[in-house]
Amino acid sequence: MKNTLGKTGLAVSPICIGTWQLAGPLALDGRPDGHPDPGKAQVIRLIRDLQERGINFIDTAEQYGGGEAERRTGEALAGQRAHWVISTKFGYRVGPGQAREDDASPGTIQPSLEGSLRRLRTDYIDIFLYHCPPRPGELPEAKAVLERAREEGKIRHYGISTGNPDLARLLAEHEMLEVLQFPSNLLDPNEPLRRLAVEHGAGTQVRGVMAEGRLSGKYLEQAPQWPADDRRSQGAKDFGAVAPLARAVPAGWTMDQLAVRWALDQPGQHSICLGAKTLADYERAIAATRLPSLSAEQLQALRSALDAC
């Protein structure tokens, strides 16, 4: 089963492989910003196994693992490029001394693109997204750079990854919003961005569907433990607060499948960018895409459970 990614016309699997967690350790400005390394061989095997299960959509970025996510993706897709839709992002990158660089100015776009093409071992990228906010006054120049890259066959579509409706609308006003990646989940649906995407016919990649793990069902008894200096520790709060949702999980489903099915039931939400690390997690999500849409009765039970959270 494939969904059409908005006005791009691209046919994508409803589950997209996220690669931040597959890139291994990353430090930015002296602080951990990545995950323990699952191992290059395991990551490549996972991506290939997921292709066999019908997934054809993968999302990465030049920043992830300092380019390692793109390198691993390129190796995993070797010889199979035509079967995949690749999305990558520019603007956030790892600079000298592992300093965080946040710069998506027009002069950085072409070098970022060329670096991504090289690491991904491809001559074109299907979806090229802003990873950090552009300066509004630079958008006309940036659009010219992106359109030239499209004319050269190096990118097919572009857009932005953001949780900011005003920023997404600004790109839409400049006719630069072909694809929108944005956070949305049961606890925080982010309706303004979803409606904006529908209004402009943008393809959507929904991230954050598990709400930093709260909706995975894995941490109802105890929150995950991360070192105090790890960026993820800032969000490791109130994991048990979602316990009432367990009552709304339909029989035979898991909580993470409820989160996936709800997200895909929202109009205009085409694909979920999943931050999983194991084949088992992905298989549950794939199974959720084949479950029936939530019924009116199930939705009412879900609303009551959310009210109790």
Whichever domain contains 269, its CATH number is 3.20.20.100
What's the mean pLDDT in 230-244? Answer: 69
Asked whether residue 251 carries a pLDDT value surpassing 80, the answer given is yes
Q: What is the pLDDT of residues 150-171, one digit of tens each?
A: 999 999 999 999 999 999 999 9
Q: What is the mean pLDDT of the chain?
A: 94
Please answer whether residues 277 and 22 qualify as being in contact, where contact means their C-beta atoms are separated by less than 8 angstroms: yes
Residue 30: pLDDT band (50, 70, 90) is confident
Please answer whether residues 142 and 107 qualify as being in contact, where contact means their C-beta atoms are separated by less than 8 angstroms: no
Q: Is 15 helix (H, G, I), strand (E, B) or coil?
A: strand
Please answer whether residues 124 and 153 qualify as being in contact, where contact means their C-beta atoms are separated by less than 8 angstroms: yes
Please answer whether residues 180 and 207 qualify as being in contact, where contact means their C-beta atoms are separated by less than 8 angstroms: no
Q: What is the pLDDT of residues 275-292, one digit of tens each?
A: 999 999 999 999 999 999
Residue 109: pLDDT band (50, 70, 90) is very high
Q: What is the pLDDT of residues 211-223, one digit of tens each?
A: 988 999 887 767 7
Residue 238: pLDDT band (50, 70, 90) is confident
CA angle 281, 284, 256 (to 5 degrees): 80
Dist. CA 160–CA 127, nearest whole Å: 10
Dist. CA 281–CA 291, nearest whole Å: 16
Count of domains for the chain: 1
What pLDDT does 233 receive? 63
What's the mean pLDDT in 263-270? Answer: 98
**Which range of residues forms the domain containing residue 201?**
3-308
Asked whether residue 198 carries a pLDDT value surpassing 80, the answer given is yes
Asked whether residue 230 carries a pLDDT value surpassing 70, the answer given is no
What's the mean pLDDT in 31-55? Answer: 93
What's the mean pLDDT in 6-29? Answer: 94
What's the mean pLDDT in 177-194? Answer: 97
